[in-house]
Amino acid sequence: MSLTLPLLFIAALSVGGFFIARSRAQSAAGGDIRKLASLPRQHGLNTALSTAIPALFAILAWLFAARLLSYRETAPIWVPLAIIVIATLGFILSVMRVSVTFRARTAAEGWIRSLLIGASVIAILTTVGIVFSMLFESINFFSQYRWQDFFFSTNWSPNFRGNSDLGILPLLWGTLYISVIALIFAVPIGLFAAVYLSEYASRRTRSVFKPLIEILAGIPTIVYGLFALVTVGPFLRDYLAQPTGFGDSASSVMTAGLVMGIMLIPFVSSLSDDIINAVPQSLRDGSLGLGSTHSETIRQVVLPAALPGIVGAILLAASRAIGETMIVVLGAGAAARLDLNPFEAMTTVTVKIVSQLTGDTDFASPETLVAFALGLTLFVITLALNVLALYIVRRYREQYE
């Protein structure tokens, strides 16, 4: 049986319980709400939460148990009935507790606290589930394919009929090469734009240019990919690659890196701007009062104070670059190779994850399971970036009283 009916029942009973409990509280006060320990709307809120939250937790518990037991059929009839009973009991008990002396506000705060704790637990369990799902499938992969060949082979040539070469090095090289080019392009532009907007631009100029920069973050990546394929790629080929003899392909590392850098500019600029604006004005005033120029104040006081946030912005941009797919597919091609020429076509780990899981695949074959090993490798790389950023922040940040 579907869980749609219980969800509709919970929603209707919660809304009805709010108005019923509020009306009951007003009746208990005899029209004078000053006699109540809690306001009528707080009684209504407590009833609504008492009805909805236990029932929703019961639904989540069933979904988790069904997933854990690999239960693929619709829920048996007793599950929706149990959820309806739980919601009804919560409704009845909370309505019966409405009285002049009942502190509904405290009870409602308890339900809200439980809701927040539940949301935090769900977020943590989701992260743990993602990690373990990749870990278990990666173990299955390495039971069929030698880890030495995966991590140290320079050849990527999957073949679903067997005898595949699944070396990750060409994919890692393409991922890091494109990401570095993107960061080299995005970080200086984004950081300089943030410094200008926060320290030099007038309020009117800032109100115009900051939203324009942030629009770049809202453009779909497929649009960036088309821009790389139609405009940037042919331009680099015709005016740089071919005249200098580096190649004649419109799909290249440089194409994907530059377009990805454009996409990353608002990640660096917007976050860095907010962090720089958060530096206390007293630090600037003190530096200027000691005779420093505006640029010296920015370089020696503002930027060191904002370093943790700036490193975080760069880390976010790096993680975004490593996980990008569509720009690489359309801008860099799908060739797995080790090459220093930035005008040659290459590919990344994320692109190959998609290609290995596309179509009619057998999840028992190493050619499909390799996608999970690739995903786990990206997770480890991102974790290493976080650890490195934390070390840099602790090592070089400026602390002020």
On whether residue 151 sits in a domain, the answer given is no
| Sole residue written with tokens 């995005």 | 186
41/167 same-domain check: no
Q: Please tell me the distance from the alpha carbon of residue 41 to that of residue 100, in angstroms, as a whole number.
A: 13
77/204 same-domain check: no
Q: Which of 112, 140, 168 is the last residue of a domain?
A: 140
On whether residue 166 sits in a domain, the answer given is yes
pLDDT at 60: 84
Number of structural domains the chain divides into = 2
CA atoms within 13 A on the CB side of 305: 21
On whether residue 231 sits in a domain, the answer given is yes
Q: Which of 84, 111, 140 is the last residue of a domain?
A: 140
200/349 same-domain check: yes
Long-range pairs of 170-173 with CB within 8 A, sequence gap ≥ 24: 170/336, 170/337, 170/338, 170/346, 170/347, 171/336, 171/347, 171/348, 171/349, 171/352, 171/374, 172/349, 172/377, 173/338, 173/346
Is residue 325 within 8 Å of residue 354, measured between CB atoms? yes
Q: Which domain holds residue 96?
A: 4-140
On whether residue 341 sits in a domain, the answer given is yes
Helix axes 4-28, 78-96, angle to 10 degrees: 10
Here the tokens at position 383 are 């974790």
Query: Over the Cα atoms of the chain, what is R_g?
Result: 29
pLDDT at 73: 61
Which residues in the chain show pLDDT less than 70? 1, 68-73, 359-362, 393, 396-401
On whether residue 38 sits in a domain, the answer given is yes
pLDDT at 359: 66
136/235 same-domain check: no
C-alpha dihedral over 47, 53, 54, 55, to 10 degrees? 100
On whether residue 337 sits in a domain, the answer given is yes
161/77 same-domain check: no
Q: Is the dihedral of CA 219, 225, 229, 235 positive or negative?
A: positive
Q: Is the dihedral of CA 244, 247, 250, 252 positive or negative?
A: negative
On whether residue 354 sits in a domain, the answer given is yes
On whether residue 206 sits in a domain, the answer given is yes
pLDDT at 259: 94
242/381 same-domain check: yes
The CA distances from residue 124 to 117, 223, 380, in Å, are 11, 33, 18
356/287 same-domain check: yes
Long-range pairs of 377-380 with CB within 8 A, sequence gap ≥ 24: 377/168, 377/172, 377/349, 378/175, 378/322, 378/323, 378/349, 378/350, 379/131, 379/134
Cα 93 from chain centre:
40
Amino acid in the structure at residue 63: L
Please list the residues that pair with 156 across neighbouring strands: 166
361/269 same-domain check: yes
Q: Which of 88, 116, 140 is the last residue of a domain?
A: 140
Helix ranges (DSSP H) in 240-365 = 242-244, 253-277, 281-289, 294-297, 303-322, 326-331, 349-356
259/330 same-domain check: yes
The CATH number that applies at residue 185 is: 1.10.3720.10
- The candidate with the shortest Cα–Cα distance to 300, out of 398, 217, 390, 154, is 398
246/183 same-domain check: yes
258/318 same-domain check: yes
202/321 same-domain check: yes
